[in-house]
Structure 1
């Protein structure tokens, strides 16, 4: 039997194999992680009416509650990304999932709104750390030819989890009160944690980058496809490896401009996502739409986002990803402006278009960030981009209220809403230069 003795490029080896059941398992487990992440992130919005009634609190206090969760997500993303790039994706992911599960259970015991606000911030820390690791793990086990599509498929778990939060709230709140929803948001991730501990592998790319034992790397690669690697086989990653800490690597030559442009994309993108999610129902209600019509409107927005993620992810595997994202954000700016002037079926179509282009592109941007950064700083790159995006989400949540208070026309309002989408389109387009520079450096490294 012939054994391989030359160094094996792990990335190229994975790209050359058929997608296996083991890799599908990684995608599925990551899907479950972002699903419980989505449930815990969205559940407070679904129990907000019950909280107002139980504690007699006003919109400003609810706004503080929502902002606390978003702030926790932002801080958690900034904090846990570098940790994962040092100690591993699996360890960090397990810790974050267990952490936000316990924090959600503690939130269910909150005696006052102040305590709940504090605990929502704490819960957000774990939520913010879990998502980038799930994205990175999926990306690192997917072949290049299907990476964007499979990463977006995995991330659709977030939408499913958010919807599940609404279903749970509808059934649990009338019977057991709002605390039951937070209990469910704690039990599900805690039940998932031992499954992850047992079945989820560490990133094989991370193990190679950290010079782990070759036997551990051989075992993981053999789970993808049975292969007899010789005991003397070594493993490499043919990619650019900037020096310094994971955070410093984001600003190394060849990545600096791309990092700043990617942050602009995430900031503007999540600003729009939260602006539309939080304020579109209020604007529609002010325009004398019925509750049923508003519900259909928001359903179309969410469905459009899910379909958009899958279509955009597939397109990113076939075409330059930054061109796809730039075109999608540009079309999203058009649809946002159209919402301000459309009525009836055209309004429904415009809102679905916003979901398709903006929410779909945000999920695509997550996949692109996972491809842009090398293994040594991948989770840091994703998590810091998401952290900047969370800052944008806070700005978007506040901006809607400020603009509505100015009593400007609906047409002008949505033209203003379209500006961040146009800026995201421009930034995504220019990210291509950073991407091409990164690809050229990787090719040179492989040939050296």
Structure 2
């Protein structure tokens, strides 16, 4: 019987989603949901913390942004590590750390302790997110890759939105500490459930290489048999991603070397700018909206409930993913960011009009979260396996400084006594910048890390 070499991506593409893949997708979705809850919970607890610890709004700036420093560091460090040792191990450590540190936060007694713990929690949050994206993406069939990746990632927005609804119910009964107990217990349970998920098969193939590593290829075969039966004689496995994983005719580049290579650095820079600007909007609004609405005349409960409508808009990422699988990725997401700018601007025009405010918050949340939740899937499709975890993680890590900037931006606008209308006018600008960045990327680069001129000259370069 002759030995047959199986292209793992073609194998995944031609078979229906297996129970193993569905289990992995569900757990990665739950990871993102809990990540979103644990990220946004500090904003929902903020009014209670202000009363209990006698804080003012300006002193909340460092606390609200502390997790973002950790998230940025976690993303920047974890991507290259995951491209070397694998996605699953890094993800398991991150989810466990997210749970343990959030649980400990429930027993803090002052703002200094909480700020330090939120920064450490951010390391775990920032590590979990890009690795969940990468692991999901690498088990997706090509024709549905953006759809499934976006659907998984919208769990973050759902979790952040559910956090507001849960907070409105739990805060009056058990207080702010109960939110952190819940946010810590859930990841610990999830860690146990994740022990059964497989390592990325694309990563395993990239590590096995083209040699005769029988042990490595047998491990790949075990994983693939959980998806579907292998053809007779399938003893070797390969991954065809086009020539750009081997740049300039030398050994294939991996991790940061690939992200900063000639083929990818330009698109990477534009993705960083876009993600940065999107998070300026998201964290400025999620962290400060309950307080801004309260100051604008809403009751504390109304302020929390209306603010919770904003992150729920991430469910639109499913539709965005469907469109991205059929049309130009960059332009679809760019339109979403342009609409975000319009609706964020409109929020500032609804002062004193509760019904109009609810509509504008829902529409702004729909477009902002749909666009932001589409970026990890866009980046995962842009990079090949040898640098995918690093590419996604660095976009998210560098972009996280936008979350830090967003939290401090609103604090500075408040210090300068900007009106409600003027604040949302300023917050609309990053949406326009994000849209412009993706339009530039669509004009200069194809969606696979090569310029449009190179793609015309070498159609095989698009085979990611």
Q: TM-score, normalized by length of structure 2?
A: 0.87
Specify which of 199, 204, 208 is matched with residue 207 of structure 1: 204
How many residue pairs match? The answer is 443
Structural mapping, 1:136-151, within 5 Å: 136-151=134-149
78 and 219 in structure 1: CA distance in 2 versus 1, 3 angstrom threshold? same
DSSP-derived class of the 1:210 partner: helix
Deviation per CA, 1:85-142: give whole Å up to 9, x if none. 1100000001111122222233234344322221211111111101111011111111
Residue segments in structure 2 that go unaligned for 5+ positions in a row = 247-251
Among candidates 402, 413, 416, match of residue 392 of structure 1 = 402
Q: TM-score, normalised by structure 1?
A: 0.90
The 1:118/1:146 distance shift into structure 2, 3 A limit, reads same
Deviation sequence 1:245-298 (CA, Å, 0-9, x none)? 511211112211000000010001111111222334444444434556545532
Residue aligning to 1:361: 371
SS in 1 for 2:125: helix
Instruction: State the secondary structure of the residue aligned to 2:377.
Output: helix
Residue 362 to residue 4, structure 1, CA distance change in 2 (3 Å): farther
Aligned in 2, Cα 1:437/1:383: closer, same or farther, shift over 3 Å?
closer
Q: Which runs of 4+ in 1 moved over 6 A?
A: none
In structure 2, the partner of 1:254 is: 263
State the 1:206 CA deviation. 0.3
Aligned to 1:429: 439
1:36 to 2, 20, 34: 34
- Give the alignment partner of residue 240 of structure 2, picking from 212, 237, 262: 237
Distance change (3 Å), C-alpha of 1:95 and 1:443? farther
- Residue in 1 that maps onto 2:414: 404
Judge conservation of contact 1:74–1:388 (CA < 8 Å) in 2: yes
**Cα deviation, residue 347, structure 1:** 4.0
| 2:370 is equivalent to residue 326 of structure 1 | no
- Name the structure 1 match of 2:249: none
- Equivalent in 50, 53, 71 of residue 52 of structure 1: 50
Query: Which is further off, 260-269 or 105-114?
Result: 105-114
Change (3 A) 1:183 1:261: same
More helix as a share of residues: 1
5+ long unaligned stretches in structure 1 = none
Distance 2:78 2:117 in 1: 18
Deviation string 1:210-238 (CA, Å, 9 cap, x unpaired) is: 11711111121221122234253332333
Residue number in structure 2 paired with 1:444: 460
CA RMSD between the two structures: 2.6
Aligned partner of 2:90 in structure 1 is: 92
**Which of the numbers 225, 228, 238 marks the counterpart of 1:222?**
225
